[in-house]
Structure 1
Amino acid sequence: MDYDIAIIGLGPAGATLARLLKSEFKVVALDKKQDCGSDGFNKPCGGLLATDSQRSFIRFNLNLPTDILTDPQIFSVKTLDLQTNLIRNYQRTYINFNRHKFDLWLKSLIPNHVDVKHNTLCKSIERIIDGYQVTFIENNQQKVITAKYVVGADGADSMVRRMRYPTHTIRQYIAIQQWFTEKHPVPFYSCIFDNNITNCYAWSISKDNHFIFGGAFPKKGANEKFEQLKQKLEQNGFIFGSPIKTEKCHVIYPQRWRDFHVGNEQIFLIGEAAGFISASSLEGISYAFDSAEILSQILNGEAKNPNKAYYQKTLKLRLKLLSKIIKAKILTTPLLRKIIMKSKVAHIENIK
């Protein structure tokens, strides 16, 4: 084998695993993004660091650099139900940050003994004796390497997951997000529900004099539904104007226990590639950190059957995500959502 471990993708999951693996391993990491000095690859993301992700930084003994943080830091989320015209404010302790800078910073923490290949595209993974053959494109040239273990950290549309589980399907949405010049007198976060447009949800975030609006929509007619929701929100005081840029990507939406796949036969899936994303909030960074940390401990400990150990050690994580599926079903059911919001439980009134 050319390498002990090949990591496909260097988002929060892949970059964290690459950083935590012991130096005795010969590790290669393939990533779509370019090096840390460039804009590289972007995807729709609100750029809010949830409490569980913050706990991971405590365990990792890491602090966020100030240039990754953005203004303002807001302590509530305005929740709108457009079907009932109910609006509620709920306290949240998110950290507002620049997601792309965050990814590049995590990538910069990877130690030098890891062979990082920037701006690459993985084309195929094929089983060979004692491992896998990985074919990828680097600088417009096709290259081939071999590795004992392959780790899929390549997100919602994971090629590694499709290769390992070719018959498995998981619900996917199209996430669309646009950036605008901020024109609201008071910046805010929001979470928007309207089952007439999407059975998922939409969001808005104020960030460094920009207003970001996005949402997850069924694939069929996603662009039209996005524009339809914008028009309805303009009637509710949202100010958009001309978009500065538009971002799109697939996002998975786990609905059942078997939507979580962690790999087998010397292949491992971490982060969103494993289905590890909250169905109730579409938050995935904390689960990327957790799954990468678990796998690093197993590989560093040289478990006799690392796939079995990883399956067992991620049981608690999968149970937690199952509870998020139940929560999501409640939040996206109009009647139940209406009952919760009308109760005003945890709602904080604004002083007028």
Structure 2
Amino acid sequence: MYDIVIAGAGPAGANLARLLGNRYKVLLIDKRDLENENPKNQSNKCCGGLLAPDAQKMIAKLGLGIPKDILVDPQLFAVRTIDLTNHLERLYQRFYFNIDREKFDRWLVSLLPSDVDKKFNAVFKAFAKIPGGYEIQYTCNGQELYAKTKVLVGADGAASRVRTLIGKNIAVPEKYIAVQEWFECPYEIPYYTAIFDEEISDFYSWMIPKENCLLLGAALRPRENTKEKYELLKSKLTKLGFDFNHKIKTEGAFINRTRKLSQFYTGQDGIALVGEAAGAISPSSAEGISYALKSSFCLAQSLETGIDGFLDRYKQKTADIRLNLLLKNLKSPAMYNPFLRQLAMKSGLQSIK
């Protein structure tokens, strides 16, 4: 019998296991092999790999310092905003840590207390209610396994299996498909690029330089000609002088966009949700690492005084996340309404030359 089983070892799940591992008997499972440096046939997390200021603040609050081998060149201090709809460009000062996302996740796992049980190459399948908690079903290296636990935590991202199994009457965030390709890039690009074009998406697209590569990604509506729209994006950017001829790899994943506070859901009974599984992700920028760290920190705090009543305490402690999601949604029209965005960019307010 475990005290806590955590499905998902991304920043939310790994941080939670780190904070609770010395106090509770914890099992952490993830479909990736986050201990083997050279796993076979493993797909990486589809992520731009930028630590925004809010994520940097949470890492500082957690008393952590990032090892230098997780950082990748160049470090970024500006955002180039390209509005293809209104044919406008602006440069804005912003501060990001440019990181290797896979190394970042491995580093968080390396910080786990030795008492934490870890199962990698493992996929959470289902749970059943039993006296005193839940029985968890998962597969590990092709073997079907079971575990009993008092608390189940879904830290399994936008396509959370845990959240799906809780019930069908829970409001869910809007789903997008993130498509990201890596290209060889022989020239230096010293900024992160945000691209807006209503013909492509009502969300946004991005370009991020990493070492000798350039990442091109887009958040697209599912079942709305996603492949064609991504190719159209490449075509439009090629006309601006970007080179996408030497592709290295393609990544994809679902991402959530929490447009209503009811879509942020912390869980029920003895089941809690953290990170993107809870709907904790920026609806304006799709930044999720800060929310993953903050929500897992809130849940760890709620369990400091025991399991009884922890979910009520967790819901109270996430009030700041709800307020933040509300403010981000209020900010969104200035970014995603073409007319308001045009006014903001033409004003030149806070832009740099």
TM-score, normalisation: structure 1: 0.96
For the pair 1:228 / 2:227, whether they are aligned, the reply is no
Contact kept? 1:34, 1:41, Cα under 8 Å: no
Distance 1:179 1:127, change over 3 A: same
Moved more, 224-233 or 58-67: 58-67
For the pair 1:46 / 2:36, whether they are aligned, the reply is no
Equivalent residue number for residue 167 of structure 1: 169
Matches within 5 A, 1:90-239: 90-168=92-170, 169-220=172-223, 221-239=225-243
Contact kept? 2:133, 2:270, Cα under 8 Å: yes
Query: Structure 2: which amino acid aligns with 1:145?
Result: A
Contact kept? 2:137, 2:146, Cα under 8 Å: yes
Cα deviation code 1:201-243 (max 9, x no counterpart): 0000111110111010011211111111110011112221121
What is the SS of the residue equivalent to 1:199? coil
What do you get for the CA RMSD once the two structures are aligned? 1.2
Match of 1:315 among 312, 316, 319: 319
Equivalent residue number for residue 286 of structure 2: 282
What is the SS of the residue equivalent to 2:208? strand
Equivalent residue number for residue 352 of structure 2: 348
Contact kept? 2:21, 2:113, Cα under 8 Å: no
Aligned residues: 348
Moved more, 21-30 or 102-111: 21-30
TM-score, normalisation: structure 2: 0.96
Query: Structure 1: which amino acid aligns with 2:3?
Result: D
Cα deviation code 1:179-213 (max 9, x no counterpart): 00113354431000001110000000111110111
Query: Structure 2: which amino acid aligns with 1:262?
Result: T
Cα deviation code 1:65-93 (max 9, x no counterpart): 11110001121010000011100001111
Structure 2, gaps ≥5 residues long: none
CA offset at residue 41 of structure 1?
4.0
Moved more, 123-132 or 159-168: 159-168
Contact kept? 2:333, 2:340, Cα under 8 Å: no
Moved more, 38-47 or 215-224: 38-47
Structure 1, gaps ≥5 residues long: none
Q: Distance in 1 between matches of 2:130 and 2:160?
A: 21
Distance 1:131 1:88, change over 3 A: same
Moved more, 193-202 or 162-171: 162-171
Contact kept? 1:183, 1:239, Cα under 8 Å: no
What is the SS of the residue equivalent to 2:95? coil
Contact kept? 1:133, 1:147, Cα under 8 Å: yes
What is the SS of the residue equivalent to 1:198? coil
